[in-house]
Structure 1
């Protein structure tokens, strides 16, 4: 049986809580702010992405909803929603966790909240017995590549997508960190 993250956990400045159904619209609005990433990964705005993740999950091949968790990231002092963490437990191996999406809203970026979230997530997963964490990042997304490498995701387990670079082609790196 795969252990999943608890319903609620916290770090120094932030509270992470499993998304509640009545928070879907608020989180979708936050998610819409991440669409500048589409120029790096070729994705399009999905006006019901958070609803899809909430009810169906963001699952790998053969994945099950029970192993997927979607968290709201809120400031501890004000309860302001500032981020999203989406994690799949047990992929590609039982002792692996996969960060499907981590986003801190633009006006809170550069203040250390992403780093604080990654560190706390790593600590929580390590407590549960996970041995590695993986993250997928667009090759053209230099800020995210820098973020993940600085966080210790210095292994590359794959590169997926288009084989040539052009304005309208896209590829992703799958990075990993040993816990």
Structure 2
């Protein structure tokens, strides 16, 4: 299966493979997403970006060659505003798993996320993929709204704790089927 290019763009954004020199800047952007930890129960990972750059964030049995981490920057200001981390071919060969997509909290609500998803959907469809998957914390209502608005309208499963409380967590895996008329 083909993979996304090392560099590509949408109308206002330029997306390219993370360079080692960008790790600190991108980690500082990822750190602005720490509020999500109260919804997903994960611990802060101060070396998340470096770890992804060096080893990837792979699914069970995954290969580094199928993993990609890319920066998202504005074309006009040439400023890093986000990060995209994904895996080609999981859980099936014609699937793409979005491991992490995040736009800096200071630049959210400007349409960049929807622009990214529209461009990614087109790109993945053109490459022959049939679906995109993502895992979302059930307590992350803003993300659930974003992903359903982006066309993720199928639930493949709910995973995690069985009961709701302040100290329990669960995630839902969402799927967007790629069809010609959606592009």
Q: Fold-level match, TM-score > 0.5? A: yes
* Offset of residue 14 of structure 1: 0.3
Q: Is 1:74 paired with 2:73?
A: yes
Indicate the residue corresponding to 1:42 in structure 2: 41
Return the alpha-carbon distance in structure 2 between the equivalents of residues 138 and 116 of structure 1: 22
Q: Which ranges in structure 2 are unaligned for 5 or more consecutive residues?
A: 179-183
* Offset of residue 107 of structure 1: 1.0
1:23-53 per-residue CA deviation (whole Å, 9 max, x = no partner) reads 1111111111110110110111111100000
Q: Which runs of 4+ in 1 moved over 3 A?
A: none
Indicate the residue corresponding to 1:164 in structure 2: 163
Indicate the residue corresponding to 1:7 in structure 2: 6
Return the alpha-carbon distance in structure 2 between the equivalents of residues 18 and 123 of structure 1: 19
Indicate the residue corresponding to 1:115 in structure 2: 114
Give the SS at the match of 2:86.
strand
Return the alpha-carbon distance in structure 2 between the equivalents of residues 135 and 119 of structure 1: 15
Indicate the residue corresponding to 1:95 in structure 2: 94
* Offset of residue 79 of structure 1: 1.0
Give the SS at the match of 1:173.
strand
Give the SS at the match of 2:124.
helix
Q: Is 1:128 paired with 2:127?
A: yes
Q: Which ranges in structure 1 are unaligned for 5 or more consecutive residues?
A: none
Query: What TM-score results when the alignment is normalised by the length of structure 2?
Result: 0.96
Q: Is 1:54 paired with 2:53?
A: yes
Give the SS at the match of 2:14.
strand
Q: How many residues align?
A: 178
Indicate the residue corresponding to 2:31 in structure 1: 32
Give the SS at the match of 1:73.
strand
Give the SS at the match of 1:99.
strand
Give the SS at the match of 1:118.
helix
Return the alpha-carbon distance in structure 2 between the equivalents of residues 25 and 106 of structure 1: 17
Give the SS at the match of 1:45.
coil
* Offset of residue 17 of structure 1: 0.4
1:122-174 per-residue CA deviation (whole Å, 9 max, x = no partner) reads 11111110000001000000000000001100000111111110000000000
Query: What TM-score results when the alignment is normalised by the length of structure 1?
Result: 0.98
